[in-house]
A and B are shown apart, each in its own frame.
Chain A
Amino acid sequence: MTQDKKNDNATAPRIGVYICHCGGNISDHVDVDAVRRQIERMPGVAVARTNMFMCSDPGQAAIAEDLQNGTVDRVVVASCAPSLHEATFRNAIRRAGANPYIYEHVNIREQVSWVHHGETATAKAADLVAAAAAKAGLLKPLTPIRVPATRHATVIGGGVAGLSAARDLAARGIPVALVEKSSYLGGQLARLDRIAPTGERATDLVRELAGAVLEHPDIAVYTDTQVVGCDGYIGNFKLTLRRQAADALIGAQADDIPPAGIRPTGPSAAERQETALETGAIILATGFRSYQPRRGEYGFGEYAPVLTLPALIEKMARQAHQGPLLQIDGRPIRSVAMIHCVGSRQIPGIHTEDEEGRLNEYCSRTCCTATLNAADRIRREHPGTRVYELYRDIRTYGRGQEDLYEQAARNGVVFLRFEPDQEPRVTAADPDDGFALKIQVTDTLTFGETLDVPADLVVLATGMEPNDVSDLVEMMKLPVGTDRFLLEVHPKLRPVEMPVGGIFVAGTCQAPFDVGETCNAAGAAAVKAAAMLTEGHVELDPFVAEVDTARCQGNGACVEACLNPGALNLVEMQIDGQTVQRARVTPALCLGCGACVAVCPTNAIDVCGMTLRQYEAMVDAIVAGPAAAETV
């Protein structure tokens, strides 16, 4: 598979090209050996090899060996998408003692073998690899940009995720600002009573977490406060916090401290205050809100005994009583019907969109267990109250949750299952029936028969929606998924990081999580942020604009074209005894987009690692084709 070539000129680049089979993913459609034979004839290519899996240890070792014995000093790997393994190979090169930026990645899987077949696939792969090799010959070793980082983190959101993240950061010696929009700590957890499946009290959890946060000397808690401005970059953010005046809180919000919410002591702000804050990292813990059913959705808003599950939990906590029958708002409840998947798993064409035309197509994950928990508790504490659960599917996915499902069944909860296109209908019951409401449901577990379930109370297991953080999304340029939750860089490999450096996510602003999962996410985000800040500096990719001051005439076109204010400026400098204006790049702010390169009349600015000359070489190689090189 190998054929080493002697290179006469010691200073000419020695390019190593490594082509991956991807276990057949690539080689079933691309003749990788034919590509290798064509590429190894290209000028500058010292060696071309193939491997079943380049990302495997032997694959990476082959690159390291060639680098260490001097066979190659530039590396091209042709394999999957760079988002998967570009970092893998750069790290392999770094471990072999070479500069990781003498590397070029070619995607011949997603962009070739998965979409083309036969000879055209092989020809396209060869063209792309040839272009990469041509570029690799012009690659220069680069140094990552190092910027100092402010040893301070800001957590936005004072729910269980924010409290948990703030506590963990402070425990690692990082000063923290915790910013909470409402006047209390505890977030949505503060609205709950006993947490499934372990039965702990939400009050205890909130008290412990909020207590640790409020006591810690390195955590500053800002309630009634919002982030209204964000500038800067990783390690060096400048936030503007706005505290609402106390009189703005009088009314609904001031009174609306949920049962387990904790309001920090101290004077309320007399008037609106703005504070500037310098911080090195930001953790978004902005949480969720419970889905609010439309008027008429399962009778919600039309019949008083139709409640959401969070409302039931809050009423049960506030109106605790003993007796064979559950009582809600003073009414004895002989029968409860609980309807699952309200505002979750909505299907286009079946469910009604909200005012903005949106559907929640995702599963909210926590409502099945929360509903079973409430149902089981009613059966245990008020055995005279019958409980019916009307579900589409039950998903009790976490540890201890399936046990709760079984326990609820054993305690007499009756399950009925409906198809999504045959939703239960909630109507007023006939006066003779003696119940407040009846729910008509076509039950697949009773062989498709249509049943009338009598009920004094209907509970809607409402799902989670992300809190509206469009202001932060706009301010910090954050990606949002089609489900409106914040979108991490990679769900498995970088699950708590935003693509914007130095910004992390924790908890239900990212996806529906239960309390335990939320704490896991908060812990992970805190550790990531702490690891970044503990070093005192951060390293950024060096793919940023670079000015050739010999060519720059200081006409300023690049400054006008620049997309990130502050990344490019005109500065005065002395050249040949004359004071002249020249463009200067602030590397930490440069996005590496190349807008400046396109407008410079003198070609005086280039993006490192993606220079115009490198692109020209790529185009030449594609036009000439590797086959042309072969015949020369």
Chain B
Amino acid sequence: MTLLSPDFAEELKEFSDDSALACFNCGTCVAICPLIDAHFPRRMIRYVQIGARERILENATELWKCLHCGLCTQTCPREANPGEILLGLKRLIVNHWRKKA
């Protein structure tokens, strides 16, 4: 069970583009991603969209698979900028770990 955090979007604003809600779940980013990893990066974008803060923290290491080739951002039909959101999430995670430490 995942409790959504309605304020997560506010929290993320400090680190990333606020474009996740433009995503309409088409999956183009997954198709173009050279990692060929199930639902990457769409699952992360969806977590951001709904504010599934816990799930992002649980799966944080997945973010470091990203090569930052930019293909997802280039091909996104809704200009949701998935590449930038992934970068922003990394910044948020690093900040989170730093605070915990």
Contacts and interface: CB of A to CB of B under 8 A. Distances in A.
Interface of A: 334-335, 386, 388, 409-410, 412-414, 416, 433, 438, 440, 443, 445-447, 449-454
Given A409-B22, A409-B24, A414-B21, A450 B2 contact: yes
Interface stretch (B45-53, B64-72, B82-90, B93-101): B45-53
Given A412-B9, A414-B49, A451-B52, A433 B3 contact: yes
Contacts of A334: 6
A412 B20 CA distance: 9
Given A438-B3, A452-B1, A452-B4, A446 B21 contact: no
Nearest to A433: B3
Nearest to B23: A409
Interface string B1-37: 1111010010000000000011011000000000000
Given A446-B47, A452-B1, 5 more contacts: A334-B6, A388-B50, A414-B50, A451-B52, A452-B3
Given A412-B9, A452-B4, A446 B52 contact: yes
A450 B46 CA distance: 14
B18 to A, nearest CB: 9
Contacts of A416: 50
A449 B52 CA distance: 11
B91 interface: no
Contacts of A433: 3
Contacts of B1: 440, 450-452
Contacts of B47: 446
Given A410-B21, A447-B43, A454 B9 contact: no
Contacts of A446: 43, 46-47, 50, 52
Contacts of B2: 449-452
A409 B21 contact: yes
A92 B60 CA distance: 76
Contacts of A450: 1-2
A454 B46 contact: no
A433 B24 CA distance: 29
A584 to B, nearest CB: 72
A454 B50 contact: no
A446 B25 CA distance: 9
A450 B3 CA distance: 9
Nearest to B39: A447
Interface residues of B, number: 19
22 contacts: A334-B6, A388-B4, A388-B50, A410-B22, A414-B21, A414-B49, A416-B50, A433-B3, A443-B50, A445-B25, A445-B46, A446-B46, A446-B52, A447-B43, A447-B46, A449-B52, A449-B55, A451-B2, A452-B2, A452-B4, A453-B4, A454-B3
B21 A412 contact: yes
Contacts of A335: 6
A413 B6 CA distance: 11
Given A414-B49, A446-B50, A454 B39 contact: no
Nearest to A405: B24
B20 to A, nearest CB: 10
A359 B46 CA distance: 35
Contacts of B50: 388, 414, 416, 443, 446, 451
B49 to A, nearest CB: 6
Contacts of A414: 21, 49-51
B46 to A, nearest CB: 5
A78 B21 CA distance: 60
Contacts of A409: 21-22, 24
B17 to A, nearest CB: 14
B77 to A, nearest CB: 12
Contacts of A445: 25, 46
List the 9 closest A-B pairs by CB distance, nearest first: A386-B6, A452-B3, A335-B6, A451-B2, A412-B21, A446-B46, A453-B4, A445-B25, A414-B50
Contacts of B24: 409
Contacts of B51: 386, 414
A451 to B, nearest CB: 5
A452 B55 CA distance: 12
B4 A451 contact: yes
A560 to B, nearest CB: 70
Contacts of A443: 50
A454 B53 CA distance: 13
B21 A454 contact: no
A243 to B, nearest CB: 53
A339 to B, nearest CB: 15
Contacts of A388: 4, 50
Contacts of B49: 414
A383 to B, nearest CB: 11
A487 B25 CA distance: 40
Contact of B6 (A410, A449, A454): A454
